[in-house]
Amino acid sequence: MADNSSARRGAQLEQDDLIQLVGFNIGKEMFVVDILMVQEIIRSAPITPVPNSPEFVEGVINLRGDIIPVVDLRKRLGLSVDDTQMENDWVIILDIEGRITGFIVDHVTEVLKIDERTIEPAPELLVSGLESQYIQGVCDIGSNLVVLLDFSRILLVDEISKLKSMNGEDDAVVAVAAES
């Protein structure tokens, strides 16, 4: 009976080390984000441009009455932008330290369960032009190498404050987005 109990404890420890990640593509690169950050995944939504916003901010969307800033992750990470793909975009809505923000990606793939111990530290070199500061780690999934992004570092402090002003706190933005 002790052997059975030990096996259950071992299985529980193994399961405790599993994390769930949402996979998505930008071009040919596959990235993942911790599923606990994901609020929602939607197909492309009408985006209202906001004047004087950073180049990588596409604008805001009205999601059931909530005004959410939307960042083009391709532009933010310095990856090539394929204009033909933009009509089929997905928007991943994330909660980043209490700030709800949408990120445009090419395609959402799947939910992956991986052993947290298989995530390697971010490499010092750049990954396809992607600055290593944005990488939380990398993991080999079968024949694919996936990059776990650190969304808390993707936006700088001053950029977060600009997004905060777009997130429903600017009356003009709210009025324009509400009409969308």
Q: How many CB atoms lie within 10 A of CB 126?
A: 11
Burial class, 81, CB count within 10 angstroms (exposed 0-12 / middle 13-18 / buried 19+): middle
The residue segments making up the domain with residue 112 are 2-179
Record the tokens describing residue 14, joined without a space.
Answer: 């193994």
Q: Is the pTM of this model over 0.85?
A: no
For residue 101, give the CATH number of its domain: 2.40.50.180
- Model confidence over 111-131: pLDDT tens digits? 999 998 988 886 665 444 455
- Model confidence over 15-60: pLDDT tens digits? 668 999 999 998 888 899 999 999 999 987 899 998 888 888 999 9
Give the position of tokens 């990470």.
Answer: 77
Q: How many domains does the chain have?
A: 1
